[in-house]
Amino acid sequence: MTAPRERYRTATPRSSIIQRRRTARRPQQECPRCRIDDWKNATILRLPARTSMTAPTGKPRGVLRQRLGAGAFQHDRRAPSPALAGLVEHYWQVGWDLRGLPPQTQETLPHPNVHLVVESGRADVYGVHTGRFTRVLAGQDRVFGIKFRAGAFQPFLRAPVSTLLNRSMRMTEAFGAGEERFARDILACPDIDAMAAVAERMLLRHRPAPDPEVERIGALVADLVADRSLTTVERVASRHGLGVRALQRLFRHYVGVGPKWVIGRYRLHEAVAQLQAGKPIAWTGLALELGYFDQAHFIRDFRALVGRSPADYMRAENTAAMQELARASRPKPRSAAR
């Protein structure tokens, strides 16, 4: 495409040039650094600041503190393009502004997924985290991440995903050189749509060959999410025509944890979601619905992971909801008269 200055070098009447300049469409503005190197061919591809990606439906599960105190917080998600839908669950961004305010703590119960996280000028790959994840938010910052589908990171890693359990590694170990440029370009983008576009280009360049086991493990995990009656490893193995040992090997190699852990984690995600809904809970009924033998086992597992009993957690969430409502109902201060 020729530069705008060179478009009018032909011998054209001045009036016609002026008219064409007035009606010429202005080029769309783009984030000047929202680009990513083609690390194999050393060419630079510029990306538009907007994409047609959509936000995934449904509330994020596993976030223990749905309501934080005073301050500005942002949590956005975007679904991947069809070309990467089998590998990526979604892209996410978390941002906060607590300048002049005390730090706040956020806690989550991680899913059985690998994340590529960009923050503070670097990019790291995080394996499945089996415990409660705690992060102190302070000052002003933002973090971008790629959440891979359960089992879908193994072709990028080319090793058992269990080797990443409860640990992280630099992006370069899985994707080669270019981490600093990738992180810099991601954090220079104005919004999550531009960030996701940069991430898409990078992933498409490193997209591995299709692996039928990735699709198979994805169907297995999706089944665990959708069907709450699958509360034992034996039942899952029987439904999918696998032996228990074979199922365990498959999960450890592709997901990074065993199927029993995944079942337990999704049970607690469901428990947290029901407690956050604020409706009356029949504790024994909930425990049996989630596959526990009795209420005592359910309370023990919940306290061990969340750090408090289900009843205490529910009271804390209700208190936070009331405080948020009180803050929202306070009259805003009027601006001083000029």
Whole-number Å distance between alpha carbons of 246 and 42: 43
User: Cβ distance 86 to 214 under 8 Å?
Assistant: yes
Predicted pLDDT at 28: 37
Nearby residues of 314 by Cβ (< 8 Å), 6 or more positions away: 275, 278, 281
Angstrom distance (rounded) from CA 328 to CA 338: 27
In angstroms, the CA 43 to CA 47 distance is: 13
pLDDT of residue 324: 75
Q: Which long-range contacts (CB under 8 A, 24 or more apart) does 225-234 make?
A: 225/266, 228/267, 228/270, 228/289, 228/290, 228/291, 230/263, 231/263, 231/267, 231/290, 231/291, 232/263, 232/291, 233/258, 233/259, 233/260, 233/263
Distance CA 168, CA 170 (A): 7
Q: Is 162 exposed, middle or buried (0-12, 13-18, 19+ CB in 10 A)?
A: middle
Q: Are 254 and 161 in contact (CB under 8 A)?
A: yes
Mean pLDDT in order along the chain per 10 residues (338 residues): 38 42 40 33 32 65 82 93 97 95 93 96 96 94 97 97 97 92 95 97 96 96 92 94 96 98 95 90 92 93 94 89 75 56
* Residue 72: closest CA among 101, 105, 106: 101
H/E element holding 124? strand 122-126
Domains and CATH numbers, the chain: 72-205 (2.60.120), 212-321 (1.10.10.60)
What pLDDT, on the 0 to 100 scale, is given for residue 44?
27
Whole-number pLDDT of residue 53: 64
Tokens of 95: 């941002």
What's 75-103 look like in SS3? Answer: EEEECCCHHHCCCEEEEEEEEEECCCCCC
Predicted local confidence at residue 57, as pLDDT: 54
Q: Distance between CA atoms of 160 and 253, rounded to whole angstroms?
A: 4
